[in-house]
Chain A
Amino acid sequence: MRPSASGRRFSTASLSRPLSRHHVFFSTLAGYAFAKLRFRGNKGLFIFVIATTAVPTQLGVVPLFIVMSDLGWTGTLGAVIVPSLVTAFGVFWMTQYLSQALPDELVEAGRVDGATMFQTFWYIGFPAARPAAAMLALFTFIATWTNFFWPFIVLNPSDPTLPVALARLQANYFVDYSLVLTGVLLATLPLLVLFIFAGRQLVAGIMQGAVKG
């Protein structure tokens, strides 16, 4: 979890990739449970999940920082990764998508065949969720990539994320537009490249989902 002390200028890339992977897995798992499994308190808990996104973050910075510092995670990538491992946003999105895209019959069929709950999820739920999961991964990646304030507060100055490093270009009484825009362009390029590939996969993923019309 700890960033290497030297040799790495920006943490953004190392941060964004594993983050989107874990985020997607945990969110899909929870989304699948909410959308397709029957359990006591399903609805109530789900509404609770949504309500949590309504908590304004501007003030939450202080308590969140206290938690992170009590856990000894400040200055490490963990402090940036952990809060976004599973977000209400991701759970909500996967729930909504699966409830629409995955017919109950498929889940039932899996169970009748004697599969365990997890097998059903792994072989039926997860593949069906792939297009939405691809998008979630992409959005998580971008959000992590462009996030500024929390990394600025919680990370080590020697190990900044791109937007934090970028902000330093602006750190002056006046704005040097050409410098900032060049920085922005350089920071956006990798995202563009990623999106060209992810975009392909998005199309492919959507077409190959377990559910077809």
Chain B
Amino acid sequence: MTTSRRTTIAAVIAVASSIALIATGCSSAPSASSNEKVTLTLATFNNFGYNDALLAQYQTLHPNVTIVQNIAKTSDDAQTNLFTKLAAGSGLGDIEAVDGDWMPKVKQYPDKFVDLASAGNKGRYSDWKTAGGTAGSKLIGLGTDIGPEAICYRADLFKAAGLPTAPADVAKLLTGDWNNYYSVGKTFQAAKTGAAWFDSAGATFQGLANQYQNFFEKDDGTVVAATNPDVKAAFQSVLAASATQSAHLAEWSTDWAGGMAKGAYATMLCPAWMLGVIQGDSPAVKDWNIANVFPNGGGNWGGSYLLVPSQGKHTDAAKAFADWLTAPEQQIQAFTVAGTFPSQVAAYKDPTLTGATNAFFNNAPIGTLYIDRAQAVKITPFKGVNYGSVMSAVQNGLTRVEQGQQNVADSWTQVLSDIKALG
């Protein structure tokens, strides 16, 4: 376990050698036999839907296994934690959950993780989800949930604007490309309901970005965001619509959440996990509904993976547990707990899922609806190590215009220089 970097550290530590003497050194990993008592640490963040009941099922199946879940408050905290412990070479959970957004950065280090490919999980996922978990020839991430996108809308505001309110009619109305979405928005704005058509340019831009194969980066990871005409066109078209149709409420801000409760906007892009957010932030609103449609076809936003770090002591047991957690039955259970939509194709035939409805969204058939939305996803966007940083720079640019700090051209110029600064 002694790498050259550790030796340098040891030399520096020698200053305090008297205390370092207590060091126990690297404890040797006991080989895990199937009946040996093991404790597995499962590190997740936000809410994966892995409640005590679900974990207890596994412990009943495998009495020698004790599971401890470590939940980080935010995806950012989880990311900092993961990279700290990867850097230190120890301390990670036996299973680590990784957000799809920073998965590309983790995939730079395939040798730090165990290959999870096995006969049991072959072909369980749609291709794009498998691709997201694959580094080189190694499958290092087993998909947990995905975020197929639909459109959530406020039926009361639609009614006030004289638009159809039934989900099927709304879906028909919004079938088409983004220009169609904006032109319906124009009709909506003309009715002067006092509400905006969508929440923010930033959220809408996310929807567009996830519909391109190589939006910010080429397949070799080269950043092309500054020169790709699609990026600039998306930036400009979203902001053109935003000028008259957006509530200008930056996503995840307290105002955005407040706007949701107060009916500040009539539609928002709605990946499956967004349902929980909407219900949590606007619990008193009765008129949210979901339309089985998405501008310009399908799109996926978000979703996570489970990884098994090779620094763990019980990697075999961890691998078996990760496999179990991501199997269709367990994904469906997690879905019923936290609304995390299954990534397993086999789960889409399960009656628990196909029969699922959501009372808060006026009994929308969320099971079949999101299965449709998942199947509409045709493109696997390439996301490399710089995807997150570039996205932040562009999102900041969109926000600057929405907040009236810069015009579109100046903001774009600054986006270009910010991307360049990423080096």
Contact = CB atoms under 8 A, between A and B. Distances in A.
Interface string B67-96: 011111110010011001101111101000
B276 A65 contact: no
Contacts of A72: 23-25, 27
B20 A172 contact: no
A172 B47 contact: yes
Nearest to A157: B70
Contacts of B88: 62, 65-66, 69
B359 interface: no
A40 interface: no
A23 B364 CA distance: 59
Contact of A65 (B43, B85, B274): B85
A133 B92 CA distance: 38
A18 B17 CA distance: 25
A174 B91 contact: no
A170 B73 contact: yes
B71 A171 contact: yes
B168 to A, nearest CB: 28
A153 B43 CA distance: 11
B54 interface: no
Contacts of B41: 157
B112 to A, nearest CB: 15
B276 A173 contact: yes
B81 A153 contact: yes
Contact of A173 (B20, B68, B277): B277
B20 A171 contact: no
A213 to B, nearest CB: 43
B311 to A, nearest CB: 10
Contact of A172 (B9, B70, B276): B276
Interface residues of B, number: 42
B166 interface: no
A158 B280 CA distance: 28
A168 to B, nearest CB: 5
A203 interface: no
A65 B91 contact: yes
B81 A71 contact: no
B71 A168 contact: yes
A156 B40 CA distance: 12
B346 interface: no
A64 B344 CA distance: 40
A27 B85 CA distance: 31
A171 B9 contact: no
A176 interface: yes
Contacts of B305: none
Interface string A147-166: 00100111011100000000
A67 B22 CA distance: 12
Contacts of A154: 91
B257 interface: yes
B23 A71 contact: yes
Contact of B73 (A62, A67, A167): A167
B405 interface: no
Interface in A37-65: 61-63, 65
A152 B71 CA distance: 10
B46 interface: yes
A80 to B, nearest CB: 14
B240 interface: no
B24 to A, nearest CB: 4
A71 B46 contact: no
Contact of A74 (B46, B81, B91): B91
Contacts of A105: none
Given A72-B24, A72-B25, A176-B280, A67 B13 contact: yes
B235 interface: no
A113 interface: no
A70 B69 contact: no
Given A66-B6, A71-B20, 6 more contacts: A62-B87, A63-B9, A65-B87, A66-B88, A154-B91, A174-B276
Interface of B: 6, 9-10, 13, 19-20, 22-25, 27, 41, 43, 45-47, 68-74, 77, 80-81, 84-85, 87-91, 93, 257, 273-274, 276-277, 279-281
Top 4 nearest A-B pairs (CB, nearest first) are A174-B280, A157-B70, A72-B24, A167-B73
19 contacts: A63-B9, A65-B85, A65-B91, A66-B88, A71-B23, A72-B24, A72-B27, A74-B90, A152-B72, A152-B81, A153-B91, A154-B91, A157-B69, A158-B68, A167-B73, A168-B71, A168-B73, A172-B280, A173-B276
